[in-house]
Amino acid sequence: MATCRQVLLPLLLITLATACAGTPPAPGKQDLAQAGPPPAPPEIGLIRSEVVLAALGHLDAPYRYGGTGAEGLDCSALVQRVHLQAGLSHVPRTTAEQARAARRVPQDRMQPGDVLFFAARGNRIDHVGVFIGDGRFIHAPNARSQVRVEPLASAYWEPRLRKAGHFFE
């Protein structure tokens, strides 16, 4: 299991590097054809960082089915809570509602702060976590464990990933 320092230091460095980056020059007509979608407003990047840092702040919190507070959290309560801590109050409570409300993101374009939806038991989406970058996500897995970071490319989680998305406007 990664320590808080092993997880937070790389994220802090990424946040500082992106916060210090200057504005690139305006693209020419040739560049526009290859540029793809316009970049997100800078505040979205800050909110993404806040979501990730809030999620990491819950590392080792106890899991509790239906839990939403100090007594423990389930996976969807963790996602709702960290978004609320980042200033987003419109995230639904349950995994199913979150999966319906999240704006889909192609899996090859995931960014830290996106949410990942899994079908852990069968074909129905029944689990959610927060992508923190570097191929890892944080989640509240089950009653036998605590909030933790895991690699997405594991034999268990990768084949169960059904959707990536976010709640940013």
Sketch out the chain's domains with CATH numbers: 4-13+42-166 (3.90.1720.10)
pLDDT of 45 reads 93
Distance CA 143, CA 31 (A): 51
- Whether pTM > 0.75 for this model: the answer is yes
d(CA 91, CA 168): 10
Residues in the chain: 169
Q: What's the pLDDT at 38?
A: 52
Is there a contact between 11 and 112 (Cβ–Cβ < 8 Å)?
A: yes
Which residue matches tokens 């992106």? 18
Task: Answer whether 127's CB lies under 8 Å from 138's CB.
Answer: no
Q: Map tokens 């702060």 to a residue.
A: 113
**Can you give the pLDDT at residue 42?**
72
Q: Tens digit of pLDDT per residue, the chain (169 long)?
A: 555 445 544 554 444 344 434 434 444 444 434 444 555 677 999 999 999 999 999 999 999 999 998 899 999 999 999 999 999 999 999 999 999 999 999 999 999 999 999 999 999 999 999 999 999 999 999 999 999 999 999 999 999 999 999 999 7
Q: Which two tokens stand for residue 127?
A: 């689990």
